[in-house]
Chains A and B, each alone.
Chain A
């Protein structure tokens, strides 16, 4: 084997090693991606009792209530299995809304309420001007109505 071919093999082996490492890193990220506790885990008391941790889930619609002081907000977070009530004093991020994903950092009080120091909202993959989004939403609803009426006919 010529020296150049030897080096080609070595670089090739290095690239295969790198590909292997990447695969392992990605599969680790897939399975161990949650650095927060779900409401079910909190209800099962799997969370640390005396430390700050994170709760992640979806804001339950129609539970967001502003308290009398005007700054504190109470809402429920769910993973569709359990519900954790959250209290947060401060300015909520722009993308915080009912039915959307949220990650709250804080600790749980003796009253079972999660007192958050920080509330993070997630964004969505869609980037649409409002009028286009509205049209799509209407089309989506029309599609659902059509499907439902058709399945009712059958």
Chain B
């Protein structure tokens, strides 16, 4: 059996060129999937919903809202995961990966909250309510902001990495709370405006473009996080010989 030394890729010098080669591909995949997902969702789906949830045209905000909300939770898992790996194995790249993921996660959290407000106004009758899911998603946004603020408040990079990583792990509480905060046995007995969601009760013509958008935003996250990661690598390793080589090479081009 062939064994791969995974720690080889944990070296910033080794991962810097790999990330550079992957960015354009993730960028293209993201652009294609987002265009397909949005076109499909905005133009090829029914103009309104029927049955017990008769929403009008504005239900189409689902194609931005739900994928953003999923990505906001997923990127937090990525952030906390790399933080934990960094704390245990002391690998520099893991902390850089976590730091690079935070702004994209915060962006999607903001997008989920904002599109949710615009959607909630016509359907529920309010922009904002202290519904368990809305409240916990807002706390997730504050956690992302807190992670970034704590990291930049400490001058020593290694100490900043550790402190922020610990905050990220503690904040992990929010993700299952957001995801499960709607599991109310009887919707009419609960205050939650969000209802239990079940992909089975979403028609395929709506579910498939929604998933297409999700994969598109995921690919975008890869591209954006890798681009940010490359900048962080160059900044932190600026004293090393290989970075000087890279800069010298790019200066001549």
B49 at the interface (CB under 8 A from A): yes
User: A14, B170: Cβ atoms under 8 Å?
Assistant: yes
Which of B's residues lie within 8 Å of A, judged by CB? Answer: 45-46, 48-56, 59, 62, 84, 87-90, 122-126, 129-130, 132, 166, 169-170, 172-173, 176-177, 180-181, 183-184, 187-193, 195-198, 201-203, 205-207
Partner of B87, one of A11, A120, A123, A131: A11
Which of A's residues lie within 8 Å of B, judged by CB? Answer: 4, 7-8, 10-11, 14-15, 18, 21-22, 25-26, 29-30, 33-36, 38, 54, 56-58, 79, 92-97, 100-101, 103, 118-134, 136-137
User: A34, B125: Cβ atoms under 8 Å?
Assistant: no
Partner of A33, one of B132, B177, B202, B207: B132
User: B187, A92: Cβ atoms under 8 Å?
Assistant: no
Most buried by B among A35, A36, A38: A35
How far apart are the CA atoms of A100 and B125 in the complex, in Å? 14
How far apart are the CA atoms of A137 and B87 in the complex, in Å? 54
* Apart from A4-B90, A56-B188, A133-B50, 17 more pairs, CB < 8 Å: A14-B169, A18-B170, A18-B172, A18-B173, A35-B191, A57-B188, A100-B52, A118-B126, A119-B125, A123-B193, A124-B52, A126-B52, A127-B203, A128-B49, A129-B203, A133-B49, A134-B50
List, in ascending order, chain A residues with CB within 8 A of B183's CB: 30
* Nearest CB in chain B: distance from A59 CB, A: 10
* Nearest CB in chain A: distance from B187 CB, A: 6
Closest to A23 in B: B176
Closest to A91 in B: B125
How far apart are the CA atoms of A103 and B181 in the complex, in Å? 18
User: A130, B125: Cβ atoms under 8 Å?
Assistant: no
Q: With contacts defined as CB atoms under 8 Å apart, how many contacts are there between chain A and chain B in the complex?
A: 161
User: A130, B191: Cβ atoms under 8 Å?
Assistant: no
Partner of B190, one of A15, A34, A54: A34
List, in ascending order, chain B residues with CB within 8 A of A129's CB: 45-46, 48-50, 203, 205-206
How far apart are the CA atoms of A34 and B132 in the complex, in Å? 10
How far apart are the CA atoms of A115 and B205 in the complex, in Å? 41
How far apart are the CA atoms of A132 and B201 in the complex, in Å? 11
* Nearest CB in chain B: distance from A100 CB, A: 7
List, in ascending order, chain B residues with CB within 8 A of A96's CB: 125
How far apart are the CA atoms of A34 and B62 in the complex, in Å? 26
12 CB < 8 A contacts A-B: A4-B88, A15-B172, A22-B176, A93-B122, A94-B55, A95-B55, A120-B125, A122-B193, A124-B195, A127-B203, A127-B206, A128-B203
Partner of A121, one of B50, B124, B173, B196: B124
List, in ascending order, chain B residues with CB within 8 A of A38's CB: 189
User: B126, A120: Cβ atoms under 8 Å?
Assistant: yes
Known: A93-B122, A103-B191. A132 touches B172 (CB 8 A): no
Closest to B187 in A: A101
User: B125, A118: Cβ atoms under 8 Å?
Assistant: yes
Q: Ordered nearest first, which 8 A-B pairs have the shortest CB separation?
A: A130-B50, A133-B51, A93-B125, A133-B50, A129-B46, A124-B53, A126-B201, A127-B202
How far apart are the CA atoms of A95 and B192 in the complex, in Å? 15
How far apart are the CA atoms of A130 and B84 in the complex, in Å? 47
User: A121, B123: Cβ atoms under 8 Å?
Assistant: yes
List, in ascending order, chain B residues with CB within 8 A of A15's CB: 84, 169, 172
List, in ascending order, chain A residues with CB within 8 A of B198's CB: 125
Known: A14-B169, A129-B203. A123 touches B55 (CB 8 A): yes
